Structure 1
Amino acid sequence: MGKLKLAELLFVCFMLPQGFAAVLNCSSPTASALFKELERNLFPEELMRPVENFSTPLNITLGITVVGILGLDEKSQTLSIVLWEVLEWDIHGLSWDEQQCGTNRVSVPRERLWIPDILIAEFLGDNNAQKTPYVYIYNTGHVYDDKPTSILSSCLLNIYTFPFDIQNCSLTFGSYLHFAEDIRLMHSSSSEDVLLESRNVLETNGEWELADIKVALTTLSLEDGDYSEIKFFILLRRRPTLYVVNLLIPSCFLITVDLFSFLLPPQSIDRCSFKMTLILGYTVFLLIMNDLLPVTGETTPLINVFFSISLALMVASLLETIFITNIQFTSSQYSAVPRWLKVLVLHYLAIIVCLRTKDKTTRITVCIDQSNRAMKTISTDSSGSQIISGNTLPDKLTPAPPASSPPPPLPPDPHPSIDFLKKLSRDLAAIRIQMEKHLQGSNASQEWQMIGTVIDRLLFISYIIFILTSFITIISIWIWSNSY
């Protein structure tokens, strides 16, 4: 008896470093016989990691398939997605004969086996997916665990190019407790296979489409040890059609209408009313479409900048129209244009906007007063300002009589009609001068009106540049997002 106990003790000591090992011998090829063997050899070991010994790491193969993209929340920076998560590992030493036990695989309750604690680092909230209480065990000891997973995970979103944005969300799978020396993760398929399978089974066709999936093996290093991890990078592209139709196209229509309003005469009061109506309509449009715009504190979307600049240009065009209208009706009451403003606007900005100022011309009107032999010169330039100068006619026009000669006889009294004609000529000249001054305006008034014209042309060109730049930027981002 002593020798027998010693032999049993040596056998146990020899088998202890080898860990768990069980070859099932079914009494008959029935399910009850196989489960009896599993109940006797496998299920009691559910608390132990199924490896040869404690220093042997357990290799776990992980694979996922994206079956549903529920959405991205820009405000809370979260991703809602549904996956099929597949875990595979081997139970060391477990095997049975397919012919003897009647099958090569059997489903067993999940609670009766040791299950790895693989979690998602970015996981938030609860898993609302349906529970799968069983896993497959093959006759080679291979365990196949396939379960659906509903994930609400954190995702750092970049919505600068909204609605043509592409988001890159990562899902990090790893053991919550076991170090890399206990559990090593490996991916079951390549990135191309995962993407192809996901696109084939994807059941959602909402705002987001699956652009690409990348897989990378990583290691998380901490003070206590290293953890084996697998990162899946899920690239999602937003479908921009809804936002282009509801946001960009109406906004571009309103901006285009405001652009063509520059063709209205600036002195028309209807131009101010027209622009005010456009601003009011654009403000109401932005308030209605505010729910479609993303809300986040990280970055400001480019489309919000586009709307803000569009509204600012509309307000600037209204203010400029008010300024020009005021100049047209009250410029005659203004003082002279400051020199710095005249140089800046009429000499530099006018050249930039390809608007040439009129050259000053001078027209001279000569009036001879027969009563006192004086000549008045009235100079009128293109701006309407007059310069009046007077001098006495030279003596050669009225030669003095010789000293010795007798005084000339007195001229006969002129006819009364001649005096009337002279007075009428003076009155007509005065009326003509006043009419020219009224029609042409003063020099200061014309300079103010020219400044208003230059500013109007400058804003019109700025509008065109902004619209062209915006369209080119939007089309470029759209093409880039679709060709990613």
Structure 2
Amino acid sequence: MKGGWPVGGRVLLCLTVSLLLPGRGDTFTINCSGFDQYGVDPAAFQAVFDRKAFRPVLNYSNPTHVNISFTLSAILEVNAQLQLLTSFLWMNVMWDNPFISWNLEECVSLKNLTVSAENVWLPDIFIVESMDVDRAPPGLTAFVNSEGRMKYDRPVRVTSICNLDIFYFPFDQQNCTFTFSSFLYTVDSMLLGMDKEVWEITDTSRNLIQTQGEWELLGITKATPKMLVGSNVYDQIMFYVAIRRRPSLYVINLLVPSGFLIAIDALSFYLPAESENRAPFKITLLLGYNVFLLMMNDLLPASGTPLISVYFALCLSLMVVSLLETIFITYLLHLATTQPPPMPWWLHSLLLYWANPRTCCPTAPQKGNKGLNLHPAHLPGVKEPVELVGKVSGPREAELNGCPESTRAQLVDLWVQFSHMMDTLLFCLYLLFMATSVVTVIILWNT
């Protein structure tokens, strides 16, 4: 063909270009003359630095294999309101750069070098759940060995999305995920792998975390799903991180004081019902519990309804019920000592049975008797009222009520005994409800 190159000329031109262009043939081997007593000559790596904008492969149809691992060194914050986990990771990324290699025998057995990370190609690995900018410190370096194996380690503070369940606070466990992926390279260009086993990552992370913070690491597992975005498929490695809260701080500052206060409230039932100190004591205890809740409010989660909040509301309700019971008994005693109404026959029978369950109550009044013709001897253990009767058994009051003084004293004594019976019954119901509620909460916490 006229004006064309001869066949031999074309072959010679291709050989010349292949030898002159960097990245072809044996020109990838670093010349050891760049390693001398003054350090490393940057000119020896200039060809590699010029390629940093491109993925380092000999054939672009072959994907780059990138190995990923990390160490969870600290859990800084768990924000239940924003559903965010703030942690500190040491990320480890490894890949091969075929443009870097040197002969160990010629280069005085130099096995590893550190290269500024700004001068080499870095894989664009990111954490999918991250909600903050990358806060890795600038000016990091990468390690490279004589075979072109690159290793890039960087510390990073990660604020990631985590679906937090605080119902069992402070005995809660959380499961969060760290998904490592590339946002530029599909599976045709980059494949992800691991250079460490999951149990190695777990053990290393657990040893670092166990001495700090309120969280402890339970375990790490992994999965390798693919992410499909349109027609593009991206490789991923997903790590499931299970953590558990150390509850000692909250048990000492929240549960123990609350338990002491509710126990004191229960013991206050042993104060005499006729005493004028029971109601004020319970009111003071109730106000003190409210102050305790206000002071400890900062330790509770700001969102949601954890089980411990239900427990505190239950304790507060028990104290209110206890105060209402005291008010009711005080009202009964006041009624018995001022204007005691006639006692129904069924109530009198119940009172007799309560005083002596083995007795069949042969002297129980009939329905129309109203219990006014009974003698206190019918009630075993009934004491003669002293102060209470003295207040109401004056001749004028008895005359106004249309009944003898002795009968009125008996009626007052019956109502006082009924008040004591109701106090004991309500106290037993109070203890039963409190024990059932506390056991239920403990069982829910242990599930």
Q: TM-score range by the shorter chain?
A: 0.7 to 0.9
Max Rg structure: 1
Query: Match of 1:384?
Result: 372
- Alpha-carbon spacing, 1:46–1:380, altered in 2? closer, same or farther (3 Å): closer
- Out of 28, 52, 62, the residue aligned to residue 56 of structure 1 is 62
- Out of 150, 153, 164, the residue aligned to residue 146 of structure 1 is 153
CA distance in 1, matches of 2:405, 2:15: 130
Query: Match of 1:301?
Result: 306
- How far residue 312 of structure 1 moved from its aligned partner, in angstroms, is 0.5
- How far residue 440 of structure 1 moved from its aligned partner, in angstroms, is 2.4
- Alpha-carbon spacing, 1:316–1:115, altered in 2? closer, same or farther (3 Å): same
- How far residue 44 of structure 1 moved from its aligned partner, in angstroms, is 2.0
Query: Match of 2:83?
Result: 77
- How far residue 358 of structure 1 moved from its aligned partner, in angstroms, is 8.4
- Out of 213, 225, 245, the residue aligned to residue 238 of structure 1 is 245
- Alpha-carbon spacing, 1:434–1:11, altered in 2? closer, same or farther (3 Å): farther
Structure 2 residue matching 1:438: 3-state secondary structure: helix
CA distance in 1, matches of 2:17, 2:42: 28
Structure 2 residue 215 is matched with structure 1 residue 211: no
Note if contact 1:362-1:382 (Cα within 8 Å) is conserved in structure 2.
no
CA distance in 1, matches of 2:253, 2:35: 65
Query: Match of 1:121?
Result: 128
Query: Match of 1:399?
Result: none
Query: Match of 2:98?
Result: 92
Note if contact 2:311-2:441 (Cα within 8 Å) is conserved in structure 1.
no
- Out of 178, 189, 194, the residue aligned to residue 187 of structure 1 is 194
Note if contact 2:29-2:99 (Cα within 8 Å) is conserved in structure 1.
no
- Alpha-carbon spacing, 1:305–1:456, altered in 2? closer, same or farther (3 Å): farther
CA deviation digits over 1:380-404, x for unaligned, max 9?
Answer: 9693358xxxxxxxxxxxxxxxxxx
- How far residue 3 of structure 1 moved from its aligned partner, in angstroms, is 4.0
Structure 2 residue matching 1:261: 3-state secondary structure: helix
Note if contact 1:218-1:228 (Cα within 8 Å) is conserved in structure 2.
yes
Mapping for residues 271-286 of structure 1, pairs under 5 Å = 271-286=278-293
Query: Match of 2:429?
Result: 461
CA distance in 2, matches of 1:154, 1:354: 65
Note if contact 2:340-2:412 (Cα within 8 Å) is conserved in structure 1.
no
Instruction: State the identity %.
Output: 32
- How far residue 361 of structure 1 moved from its aligned partner, in angstroms, is 4.6
AA matched with 2:434? F
Structure 1 residue matching 2:225: 3-state secondary structure: strand
AA matched with 2:316? L
Query: Match of 2:137?
Result: 130
- Alpha-carbon spacing, 1:208–1:228, altered in 2? closer, same or farther (3 Å): same
- Out of 166, 169, 182, the residue aligned to residue 159 of structure 1 is 166
- How far residue 88 of structure 1 moved from its aligned partner, in angstroms, is 0.4
Note if contact 1:173-1:229 (Cα within 8 Å) is conserved in structure 2.
yes
* Unmatched 5+ stretches in structure 1: 365-377, 387-429
AA matched with 1:228? D
- Under a length normalisation based on structure 2, what TM-score does the superposition of the two structures give? 0.78
* Unmatched 5+ stretches in structure 2: 375-398
- How far residue 286 of structure 1 moved from its aligned partner, in angstroms, is 0.6
CA distance in 2, matches of 1:456, 1:13: 105
Query: Match of 1:330?
Result: 335
Query: Match of 1:421?
Result: none
Note if contact 2:116-2:139 (Cα within 8 Å) is conserved in structure 1.
no
Query: Match of 1:178?
Result: 185
- Out of 411, 423, 431, the residue aligned to residue 441 of structure 1 is 411
CA distance in 2, matches of 1:304, 1:203: 28
Query: Match of 1:316?
Result: 321
Note if contact 1:68-1:204 (Cα within 8 Å) is conserved in structure 2.
no
Note if contact 1:69-1:204 (Cα within 8 Å) is conserved in structure 2.
no
CA distance in 2, matches of 1:179, 1:147: 23
- Out of 452, 466, 474, the residue aligned to residue 442 of structure 2 is 474
Query: Match of 1:424?
Result: none
Structure 2 residue matching 1:116: 3-state secondary structure: coil
- How far residue 359 of structure 1 moved from its aligned partner, in angstroms, is 6.0
CA distance in 2, matches of 1:363, 1:92: 107
CA distance in 2, matches of 1:9, 1:296: 73
- Alpha-carbon spacing, 1:83–1:455, altered in 2? closer, same or farther (3 Å): same
- Alpha-carbon spacing, 1:43–1:213, altered in 2? closer, same or farther (3 Å): same
> Which range moved further: 137-146 or 330-339?
330-339
Count of residue correspondences: 407
CA deviation digits over 1:449-478, x for unaligned, max 9?
Answer: 748844752453343442365257438846
Note if contact 1:220-1:228 (Cα within 8 Å) is conserved in structure 2.
yes
Structure 1 residue matching 2:251: 3-state secondary structure: helix
CA distance in 2, matches of 1:92, 1:435: 115
AA matched with 2:33? S
- Alpha-carbon spacing, 1:336–1:94, altered in 2? closer, same or farther (3 Å): farther
Structure 2 residue matching 1:53: 3-state secondary structure: coil
